[in-house]
Structure 1
Amino acid sequence: MKNQFINRGGLLLLCLTLLPCLGYAMAPKAKYKNGSEIVKAMYKRWEGKWYPNFQFEQRAIFYENGQVSKEEVWQELYSQPGLLHIRFDGFESGNGAVFAQDTVYRFQEGKLAGKMPQVHPLVLLSFDIYFLKPEETIAKLNTLNFDLNKVYETDWQGRKAVVVGASNPEDVNSPQFWVDKERLYVLRVVTNSKGSVRDVEMNNYQFIEKNWVATEIVFKTDGATTLREEYFNISFPKSTDSKWFDPENFSNTRWQ
């Protein structure tokens, strides 16, 4: 009986000794308190590691009433920060757009068809966020009406995600962006323009040349798919020419 008591006492002491360790091992990871923390975490994780230049082609598949209406092949080139040149259906078409200095320039048949101020949310959250100081990214997100005080965690396509801009899954209309909790890249961006909700999914991430790349982008407007982009001929140039992002040189720009 005495030995039994000692054994039980020893077991109890062992349990009491291990409880702090077990508690530490089982404690949940700290949650992000707000969107600013997520932005800072994304920047810290990939600073100096994310690709500064990104070149690719894409199949642009357009939809109307649930059916494919047309397909084109686009050429695109990104350079940090905030520079994006898009050619619609080949360089010779003369159609495309240039994003530079938070302004979009649209071209038709080689001529400037219009320009307007615009912070491109997909460029900001997919690329620029890893190059701009977090304070600058946060300021731009505020101009896009993302409420950085609202966050919650959920699952997205089998992975843990952090949602910034909404407090619960029932809110599907507020501007919000979804981030892979582990890898800290963007998964989804929702914007709202005067009641029209645009939902963009960054899908099929692949690890290419040691870089994470979303190779399929799906655009939905008010729940209906309007455009699907499939990326191919992906590369990561070591350098780009600043003239390629100068609207004055649109017609003469070639990078292939």
Structure 2
Amino acid sequence: MRLSRVSLLLLAALPACAPAAVRPSPAITSSESLLQAMHDRYAGQWYRTLSFTQATTRVLPNDSTVVEEWREWATIPGGLRIEMGPPEQGRVTIFTRDSTFSLVRGQPMRAANRTNALMTLGFDVYAQPVERSIASLRAQGFDLTRFHMDTLGGTPVYVVGAMAGDTTSKQFAIEADRLLFVRMLDPAGNGQMVAVWFKNYERLAGGWIAPEVEAFLGPKRILHEVYSNVRANETLDPAMFDPRAVR
């Protein structure tokens, strides 16, 4: 059994004559207990703000390729701002709680009452009440009554949204060891699935960051993101996440 550094220090502080009593972690046997364990593992440690530059490669439906630099800021939980392409284009998308806003030079182009599942699973789950994560994931179409263990690339994972052998339902996988999000499958119609992967996790300010993200439509990679200049726990202006303040 692997013990954390904190656990080892606590054990070392006990009198030599005292028996070493280790409190076991609650068993993970359901989607809800998994989300609770994810939250509890990093409670009070996960960073609360994040920013980075993103090299983004997109493959369009006509198979042409677009390469851009994106700039992203997050306040965790609940907010993400993405500035896409050259700043003079003014293309901004803001995710704030349960809504998504797309703007160009401050003018609203699209708004939707939907959340960002990748924000929920990759970041917010560690910093918000577990009840909110459960409600958000249910609203996003994940069937939390479906749960099983599997392996991805030889790594044990928990899978939520599908039973064993089901690769066609909307689902996500969480690495069993570090309790980090690794893959989401989402039906795209015509029998195809979109698969999104978080890869090459690195430690960041009490939490973790996956600086590489890939998305596939069937076997075809349609998105590749590589992060640089990653920073955590900087002070961010709340107006950055207010679509009414975008100019």
- Report TM bin, short chain: 0.7 to 0.9
AA in 1 matched with 2:173: W
Assess if the C-alpha contact under 8 Å between 1:201 and 1:217 holds in 2: yes
TM-score (norm 1): 0.80
The answer to whether the 8 A contact 1:75-1:90 is kept is no
Contact 2:146 2:160 survives alignment (8 Å): yes
| 1:94 and 1:111 in contact (8 A); partners too | no
Question: Do the aligned residues in 2 keep the contact of 1:162 with 1:180 (CA within 8 Å)?
Answer: yes
1:188 aligned partner: 183
Task: Tell which structure's C-alpha radius of gyration is larger.
Answer: 1
Per the alignment, in what secondary structure is the counterpart of residue 133 of structure 2? Answer: helix
User: 1:79 — aligned with what?
Assistant: 75
SS at match of 2:167: coil
SS in 1 for 2:233: coil
| Contact 1:66 1:225 survives alignment (8 Å) | no
| Partners of 1:151 and 1:162 within 8 A in 2 | yes
Equivalent runs, 1:110-125 vs 2, <5 Å: 110-125=106-121
Which of 142, 153, 157 lines up with 2:149 in the alignment? 153
Once the two structures are superposed, the pairs formed by residues 95-244 of structure 1 within 5 Å of their partners are 95-168=91-164, 170-192=165-187, 197-244=193-240
> Structure 1 residue 61 and structure 2 residue 57: aligned?
yes
CA distance in 1, matches of 2:114, 2:58: 23
Tell me the residue number matched to 1:247: 243
Confirm or deny: 8 A CA contact 2:46 2:206 kept in the other structure. Answer: no
Residues 144-186 of structure 1: CA deviation (Å, up to 9, x unaligned):
1212122222222342211111111x31121111111010110
Matches of 1:249 and 1:66, distance apart in 2: 35
Partner of 2:22: none
CA distance, structure 2, for counterparts of residue 131 and residue 250 of structure 1: 26
Q: Name structure 1 gaps, 5 residues minimum.
A: 1-28, 252-256
- For these two proteins, the number of residue pairs brought into alignment is 222
Q: Distance in 1 between matches of 2:50 and 2:40?
A: 20
- Asked if the contact 2:35–2:134 (Cα under 8 Å) also holds between the matched residues in 1, the reply is yes
More helix per residue: 1 or 2? 1
Structure 2 gap ranges (5+): 1-24
- For residues 180 and 215 of structure 1, what CA distance do their matches in structure 2 show? 16
1:156–1:66 Cα change, 3 Å:
farther
Query: Is the 8 Å Cα contact of residues 148 and 162 (structure 2) preserved in structure 1?
Result: yes
Structure 1 counterpart of 2:13: none
1:115-136 Cα offsets, whole Å, 9 max, x none, are 1111110001111111221111
The within-5 A match list for 1:12-91 is 32-64=28-60, 69-91=65-87
RMSD over aligned CA atoms reads: 2.2
Change (3 A) 1:209 1:44: closer
Secondary structure at the aligned position of 1:147 is classed as coil
Which residue matches 2:8? none
TM-score (norm 2): 0.83
> What is the rounded CA distance, in whole Å, between the counterparts of 1:46 and 1:30 in structure 2?
15
In the superposition, relative to structure 1, how do residues 66 and 49 fare at CA in structure 2: closer, same or farther (>3 Å)? farther
